[in-house]
Chain A
């Protein structure tokens, strides 16, 4: 806070000097209170409808039942229904990732402590206690959640029984009843006491240990790592009990299970892949001959790992939900099919628009129109344009060129299969997106080209003009200017747009919901449509929540990969 006032102009500081000593603390406190007052409404909304749903989804995904707010507990049941035995593998690997993140944070901190020659290791004590308190509080939330959710049912029952009380009075009554249960009281007060101890410890240790501006970040790291480790242990334990329960159930019905062998084989495959990646990277530091050998070794590890995975993954995933797999495959087709075209076209349009041409802002406005058009309205016209009827506009155009009319939105056959002809039967994964999905991809491209063009255009405008002048003096032609100036300086914008586009394809819903037809046999349904159907049509809330959590894990994985690539390829400043 001191640094903030020091950055202001000298005169302002001088005028304030007299009152600073008396009023500074008071004023800072007032500012902090004001800040919290300002952010509270926004955070209340974002927390209730944007952050808490994550924890709530995880809770719901362990419940089973039709049209039930609080279903019966089913453990990993929904997940095994969705992705088969892969659910157990995923559980263990999420635990491993948590552990890795914890260790990674601690290692990063060691570098900092070495750099400043500090010894903050005693801060582990308040950090751990605070993390334990948080974990206990989360446990408390999960204990009280079904009880609080149940209030609505008991309230309705009381009203139907003819209770005269108002809703507010009844609600307070039920809440008080829940609150007085010892099963609620004990976890709550344990969490509160541990929290209080943690805050006292933080205060004491901050006083005792040598002062440093990094102290609070040290405590934060220990807190975060402990929390991750607790999460990893819990997830590992939970998955383990689920596996054991599955084995017990199988033993009773006389079936044989292969969860352990599958888990071990798939994990071995993944470890081999990771190893090969690390070895490949280390080859960069070696001279050429050694590097080649190391790369060869890495390559062979990669092949073995991939071979193991290809052999085992389908077997483990076999008992999963085919609709869900098809939804994921369609989402991948949708991403891979739309994003590259979208970028190639909008990069071209942006560079063209960036030239000194007439009607620049007119073109920009026209290109942007599809993005702001209500998706249902635009999809309605696509539904007629790309209808499967022989006299539909697009079919009339292609027949005018001498082609056969196509089924378009009603087409369920993969396009590679159509190209290969009836003589060959391709496996499902190689058949390619159906014609129906191709129309949806075209719609996506049509919508997003304008958005990308406008942002890329702004990115082009931010590149200093001198660079191009220097390049043209050095004799660089248009292409080399584009390759060596435009692309690198545009890379942050492109990175932002790709991340946005990838997340966007996983979020896409409206136009797909409007454009899908019964005749397409689900070949146009992406992951979010499958989730919506599970929720709205089947009212299987727990299952829909489990699918949504899986989707989130995928999106998070993609974001991490995108960040990794970006940190190497993106050129900032």
Chain B
């Protein structure tokens, strides 16, 4: 809005060529954006297309199916125990995410609003885990899980605790939430105190509703994390009982071998839920991610 005066001061004669140049620039921008968008979604379109072909089309390298074979999805679903993997991943994601929301929110609130001795030290310790490559934790955590499996009364290995408990809190979530909590104006805390609310009530009634975007981001990030988990499930599961979907798909890819249409149907089955979740939460999610990135 504010730059309108500048353009109106420009001489009349220049107005015409300038606006034409801008138009060409805009067309270029649109072409680049559309082209980029196509590149981003072509692998999806390709997967969907192949997943609807029959065997000869899929192996013959056709581009589009002659008649969509919806039965491929049923075949893939039955061939591999996708139903089980699906349900496993949803259960694992729910357990991890609820742990994350409770534990990380609590810790983030303490770091954002309360002064306590050792705060800086613990916070630095937390930050240092951010650069830790996952590979460093494989050996020690595997051994820890085996050990816990043997000494505690309930099973860890090849069971849900090994797949969820290590991920029930993370430095990333705590940092993101703390960032949001700190932006909440101090006055709210003062008025909450006058109303007789303590820290816990203030956290649940005021802080958490105000940090919707951050919480959605955390939920989605951890959901994606659970859905994508591959290395760790390969290490700590032996049977399909608790095998999550990414690992399930990977074993199906090897089993299905040359049946490209079934492999793609399996891939689409795996991808679709996350895309749906993303569509419903994308506004908060983009906001949450953008805030993290900006603050570093």
Q: Which residues of A pack against B, CB within 8 Å?
A: 1, 4, 7-9, 12, 15, 31-32, 34-36, 38-39, 41-43, 45-46, 48-54, 56-57, 60, 69, 149, 151-152, 155-156, 166-168, 171, 345, 348-349, 352-353, 355, 357, 363-370, 372-378, 380-385, 391-393, 396, 446, 449-451, 454-455, 457-459, 462, 465-466, 468-469, 472-473, 492-493, 495-497, 503, 506-507, 509-510, 513-514, 527-528, 531-532, 535-536, 541, 544-545, 547-549, 551-552, 555-556, 559
- Within the complex, what minimum Cβ distance (angstroms) separates A153 from chain B? 8
In the complex, chain A residues whose CB is within 8 Å of the CB of B116: 31-32, 35-36
Contact: A39 with B117, CB < 8 Å?
Answer: no
Contact: A39 with B110, CB < 8 Å?
Answer: yes
User: Known: A469-B3, A509-B231. Is A353-B224 also a contact (CB below 8 A)?
Assistant: no
Contact: B136 with A454, CB < 8 Å?
Answer: no
In the complex, chain A residues whose CB is within 8 Å of the CB of B115: 1, 4, 31, 35
Q: How many Å lie between the Cα of A36 and that of B200 in the bound state?
A: 13
Contact: A374 with B234, CB < 8 Å?
Answer: no
Contact: B139 with A507, CB < 8 Å?
Answer: no
Contact: A385 with B166, CB < 8 Å?
Answer: no
User: Known: A56-B140, A446-B40, A509-B230. Is A50-B171 also a contact (CB below 8 A)?
Assistant: yes
Contact: B253 with A551, CB < 8 Å?
Answer: no
From A9, A39, A374, contact of B106 by CB (8 A): A39
Q: How many Å lie between the Cα of A451 and that of B140 in the bound state?
A: 31
B165 part of interface (Cβ distance < 8 Å): yes
From A349, A355, A369, A545, contact of B275 by CB (8 A): A369
Q: How many Å lie between the Cα of A45 and that of B137 in the bound state?
A: 13
- Within the complex, what minimum Cβ distance (angstroms) separates A341 from chain B? 13
B290 part of interface (Cβ distance < 8 Å): yes
In the complex, chain B residues whose CB is within 8 Å of the CB of A9: 187, 190
B52 part of interface (Cβ distance < 8 Å): no
- Within the complex, what minimum Cβ distance (angstroms) separates B237 from chain A? 12
Besides the contacts A458-B294, A535-B138, what 13 more A-B pairs have beta carbons closer than 8 Å?
A38-B110, A45-B165, A46-B126, A50-B137, A53-B136, A168-B153, A349-B33, A363-B37, A373-B44, A393-B46, A454-B290, A462-B294, A544-B138
Q: How many Å lie between the Cα of A162 and that of B293 in the bound state?
A: 57
Complex: chain A residue closest to B294, CB-CB: A458
From A43, A56, A375, A556, contact of B246 by CB (8 A): A375
Q: How many Å lie between the Cα of A396 and that of B139 in the bound state?
A: 43
Complex: chain B residue closest to A546, CB-CB: B139
Complex: chain A residue closest to B235, CB-CB: A536
User: Known: A376-B249, A450-B40. Is A166-B106 also a contact (CB below 8 A)?
Assistant: no
Q: How many Å lie between the Cα of A235 and that of B200 in the bound state?
A: 47
In the complex, chain B residues whose CB is within 8 Å of the CB of A559: 131
From A46, A167, A496, contact of B296 by CB (8 A): A496
From A36, A156, A458, A513, contact of B231 by CB (8 A): A513
Provide a sorted-by-A list of 24 A–B residue pairs whose CB atoms are within 8 angstroms: A32-B116, A34-B200, A41-B169, A42-B104, A45-B168, A46-B129, A49-B144, A52-B140, A69-B146, A151-B151, A167-B152, A349-B36, A365-B286, A376-B253, A446-B43, A454-B286, A469-B3, A493-B293, A507-B135, A513-B250, A532-B135, A541-B139, A545-B139, A548-B136
- Within the complex, what minimum Cβ distance (angstroms) separates B279 from chain A? 8
Contact: A507 with B133, CB < 8 Å?
Answer: yes
Contact: A552 with B268, CB < 8 Å?
Answer: no
Q: How many Å lie between the Cα of A556 and that of B193 in the bound state?
A: 44
Contact: B61 with A49, CB < 8 Å?
Answer: no
In the complex, chain A residues whose CB is within 8 Å of the CB of B282: 365, 368
In the complex, chain A residues whose CB is within 8 Å of the CB of B104: 42
Complex: chain B residue closest to A384, CB-CB: B260
- Within the complex, what minimum Cβ distance (angstroms) separates A323 from chain B? 15
Q: How many Å lie between the Cα of A7 and that of B115 in the bound state?
A: 13
Contact: A496 with B61, CB < 8 Å?
Answer: no
Q: How many Å lie between the Cα of A457 and that of B169 in the bound state?
A: 29
- The interface residues of chain B, by DSSP majority, are classed as helix
- Within the complex, what minimum Cβ distance (angstroms) separates A311 from chain B? 31
- Within the complex, what minimum Cβ distance (angstroms) separates A49 from chain B? 4
User: Known: A528-B134, A548-B135. Is A535-B235 also a contact (CB below 8 A)?
Assistant: yes
Contact: B29 with A509, CB < 8 Å?
Answer: no
Q: How many Å lie between the Cα of A203 and that of B136 in the bound state?
A: 38
In the complex, chain A residues whose CB is within 8 Å of the CB of B204: none
Q: How many Å lie between the Cα of A545 and that of B264 in the bound state?
A: 36
In the complex, chain A residues whose CB is within 8 Å of the CB of B24: none
Contact: B41 with A369, CB < 8 Å?
Answer: yes
Fill in one digit per residue for B228-261: 1 if any A CB lies within 8 Å of its CB, else 0.
1011001100000000011001100100000010
Sort A-B residue pairs by CB-CB distance and give the 4 closest, nearest first.
A458-B290, A455-B293, A56-B140, A53-B140
From A12, A454, A544, A556, contact of B289 by CB (8 A): A454
In the complex, chain B residues whose CB is within 8 Å of the CB of A391: 60-61
User: Known: A469-B2, A497-B293. Is A368-B126 also a contact (CB below 8 A)?
Assistant: no
Contact: A156 with B150, CB < 8 Å?
Answer: yes
B170 part of interface (Cβ distance < 8 Å): yes
User: Known: A42-B103, A45-B103, A458-B294. Is A167-B40 also a contact (CB below 8 A)?
Assistant: no
Q: How many Å lie between the Cα of A555 and that of B130 in the bound state?
A: 11
From B2, B110, B134, B147, contact of A69 by CB (8 A): B147
Contact: A38 with B286, CB < 8 Å?
Answer: no
- Within the complex, what minimum Cβ distance (angstroms) separates A475 from chain B? 11
B98 part of interface (Cβ distance < 8 Å): no
Complex: chain A residue closest to B3, CB-CB: A469
In the complex, chain B residues whose CB is within 8 Å of the CB of A548: 133, 135-136, 138-139
User: Known: A31-B199, A450-B40. Is A49-B228 also a contact (CB below 8 A)?
Assistant: no
User: Known: A49-B166, A374-B246, A536-B234. Is A368-B140 also a contact (CB below 8 A)?
Assistant: no
Fill in one digit per residue for B9-42: 1 if any A CB lies within 8 Å of its CB, else 0.
0000000000000000010011011001101110
Contact: B246 with A57, CB < 8 Å?
Answer: no
Contact: B129 with A50, CB < 8 Å?
Answer: yes
Contact: A35 with B110, CB < 8 Å?
Answer: yes
B122 part of interface (Cβ distance < 8 Å): yes
User: Known: A373-B271, A446-B39. Is A15-B194 also a contact (CB below 8 A)?
Assistant: yes
From B111, B253, B294, contact of A380 by CB (8 A): B253
User: Known: A166-B153, A353-B33, A367-B37. Is A506-B133 also a contact (CB below 8 A)?
Assistant: yes
B77 part of interface (Cβ distance < 8 Å): no
Complex: chain B residue closest to A348, CB-CB: B32
User: Known: A4-B115, A42-B169, A168-B153. Is A527-B44 also a contact (CB below 8 A)?
Assistant: no
In the complex, chain A residues whose CB is within 8 Å of the CB of B61: 391-393, 396
In the complex, chain A residues whose CB is within 8 Å of the CB of B267: 376-378, 380-381
Q: How many Å lie between the Cα of A472 and that of B119 in the bound state?
A: 47
In the complex, chain B residues whose CB is within 8 Å of the CB of A355: 26, 29
- Within the complex, what minimum Cβ distance (angstroms) separates B275 from chain A? 7
Contact: B3 with A472, CB < 8 Å?
Answer: yes
In the complex, chain A residues whose CB is within 8 Å of the CB of B131: 503, 555-556, 559
Q: How many Å lie between the Cα of A514 and that of B247 in the bound state?
A: 10
Q: How many Å lie between the Cα of A51 and that of B132 in the bound state?
A: 9
User: Known: A384-B260, A472-B3. Is A551-B122 also a contact (CB below 8 A)?
Assistant: no
- Within the complex, what minimum Cβ distance (angstroms) separates A324 from chain B? 12
Contact: B6 with A473, CB < 8 Å?
Answer: yes
Fill in one digit per residue for B174-194: 1 if any A CB lies within 8 Å of its CB, else 0.
100000000000110010011
B206 part of interface (Cβ distance < 8 Å): no
Q: How many Å lie between the Cα of A48 and that of B162 in the bound state?
A: 13
Contact: A357 with B133, CB < 8 Å?
Answer: no
